[in-house]
Amino acid sequence: MATLGEIGTRIRDGAAALAALQPKIDAGRPWPLSEHFGVEPEASWGPHETMAHVAEMIPYWLGQIEIILDAEGAPPFGRMQSDVVRIGLIERDRILPPRELVARISADAERAARRLAELSAADGERVGIHPRSGETTVAGIAERFIAGHLDEHVRQLEEILAAAPAR
């Protein structure tokens, strides 16, 4: 597994890759807001829903890491896709201009990378219990739920932009 510092670098790089897409996102405006953006089978996300999710998920998972670091033993952590707060934040923030979402993502990615760099290797091995994944280390959370998930959403945005008709 990568070190916490390496994971932090991936988070910074992912945020920079997303920020680099902003001119194309802006050029495609106005993007329609998705009618279904929760967990229903017909759910689909456009750029606004995707960026609103990334903007809420980085601080969410960083907070979950802090819960584990602050606990004795292996506390429960995490959420499922159907979490009403998650969906509510996406709904609230998907109407924001892309520049605001990119600014939030960039700032939170930098904060997450800095925090991960402060942690020791022992901190990275601390464990929490996820409702679906079970025991997961702090490093595993940072890798899977922040860095890896950010990479997935950058690819998602690239695919949305590539499939969009020229405007």
Question: For position 165, what pLDDT does the model report?
Answer: 82
Provide the whole-model pTM: 0.95
Q: Which carries the bigger pLDDT value, residue 68 or residue 42?
A: 68
Q: Tokens 């960039």 label which residue?
A: 106
Question: Are the C-beta atoms of residues 8 and 114 closer than 8 Å to each other?
Answer: yes
Euclidean distance between CA atoms 13 and 150, whole angstroms = 10
Q: How far is CA 95 from CA 18, 31, 92, 100, 137, in A?
A: 18, 10, 7, 10, 34
**In the prediction, which pLDDT does 167 show?**
64
- Predicted confidence at residue 113, as pLDDT, reads 98
- The string of pLDDT tens digits covering residues 100-114 is 999 999 999 999 999
CA distance 61 to 2: 18
Residue 38 pLDDT = 83
The 10s digit of each residue's pLDDT in 2-54 is: 999 999 999 999 999 999 999 999 999 999 998 888 888 777 899 999 999 99
